[in-house]
């Protein structure tokens, strides 16, 4: 069998509010998720019967059951009884522990591809159910685009997005554990209700005015990431000084981003935020399920 290639895009949280801790141990949230054209690439090929092989070009990414790609294959096997083997080669571009959803996107790409490759024809509802077993963000990545997400992240309301912006993503020199971030977030820390009110309207109407969104952008994890130090405040200040209409952190961190109206400003900001050990990416919106790869990325000062 020839290799089958699938693209797994990163996501940005364009704001994130933590509303409360649920009885099941998860947290109730509200956020806007949007896929961008910073992507991992996965290559699928048949392997020996019942064998799952995951190989990644990044040494810090596990290859066994800790990997969400591996777990996605096992979930499909349990659901369908299919015992075919598969080898997955993962070309990793999205940094881990960055709040960009790389592992979740890889898992969704695996579900989509094997459903097609193995002729399972599970349909959107069953695939979404399996995705939710793997993680809160995984169902969103089955289609991507722009959506208001609620619950623990599994309730997805796609919304229209017609605006053109450039995003400068800055991954500093440290990852952030999601579990650690939720242990340290102060629920209700920010007092304004503008973001939640705006998203309530967006969810009901199915559309978003980007200017209004960026005017009220909030992420409850930003104080947590800023407290971790590592130059976070300086990076945000540099993005703002470069003309960003909004700056924040994606997910629970640690990737910071600035939103720019013009490519010229965004390109200049890439230079402005360079620093030892930082990875900087210039990205744009990636619509629902439209194949693409990174428009431009810069990997600056490794180590």
Of 37, 40, 115, 137, which one is the catalytic site residue? 137
Q: Cα 103 vs. chain centroid, distance in angstroms?
A: 8
Separation CA 242–CA 39 (nearest Å): 25
Known catalytic residue at 40: no
Distance CA 288, CA 68 (A): 22
User: Quick check: is 11 catalytic?
Assistant: yes
CA distances 107 to 193, 271, 293, Å, are: 34, 33, 18
Please tell me the distance from the alpha carbon of residue 83 to that of residue 299, in angstroms, as a whole number.
40
d(CA 239, CA 247): 7
User: What is the C-alpha to C-alpha distance for residues 79 and 115, in angstroms, rounded to an integer?
Assistant: 11
CA distance 53 to 87: 5
The active-site residue, picked from 11, 37, 115, 220, is 11
**Residues that are catalytic:** 11, 137
């Amino acid at each position: 069998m020839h290799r089958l290639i699938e693209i797994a895009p990163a996501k940005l949280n364009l704001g994130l509010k933590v509303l409360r801790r649920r009885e099941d141990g998860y947290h109730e949230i509200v956020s806007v998720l949007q896929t961008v054209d910073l992507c991992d690439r996965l290559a699928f090929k048949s392997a020996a019967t019942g064998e799952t092989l995951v190989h990644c070009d990044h040494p810090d990414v596990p290859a066994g059951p800790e990997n969400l790609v591996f777990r996605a294959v096992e979930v499909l096997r349990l659901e369908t009884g299919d015992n075919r083997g598969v080898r997955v080669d993962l070309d990793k571009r999205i940094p881990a522990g960055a709040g960009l959803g790389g592992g979740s996107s890889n898992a969704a790409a695996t579900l989509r591809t094997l459903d097609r490759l193995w002729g399972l024809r599970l349909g959107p509802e069953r695939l979404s159910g399996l995705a939710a077993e793997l993680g809160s963000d995984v169902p969103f990545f089955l289609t991507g685009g722009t959506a208001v997400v609620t619950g623990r992240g599994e309730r997805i309301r796609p919304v229209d997005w017609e605006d053109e912006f450039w995003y400068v993503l800055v991954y500093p020199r440290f990852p952030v554990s999601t579990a650690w971030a939720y242990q340290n977030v102060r629920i209700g820390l920010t007092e304004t209700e503008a973001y939640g009110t705006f998203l309530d309207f967006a969810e009901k109407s199915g559309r978003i005015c980007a200017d209004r969104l960026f005017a009220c952008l909030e992420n409850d994890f930003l104080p947590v990431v800023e407290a971790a130090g590592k130059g976070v405040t300086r990076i945000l200040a540099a993005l703002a000084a470069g003309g960003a209409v909004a700056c924040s952190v994606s997910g629970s961190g640690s990737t910071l981003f600035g939103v720019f109206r013009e490519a010229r400003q965004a390109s200049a900001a890439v230079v402005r935020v360079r620093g030892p050990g930082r990875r900087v990416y210039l990205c744009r919106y990636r619509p629902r399920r439209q194949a693409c790869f990174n428009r431009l990325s810069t990997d600056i000062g490794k180590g």
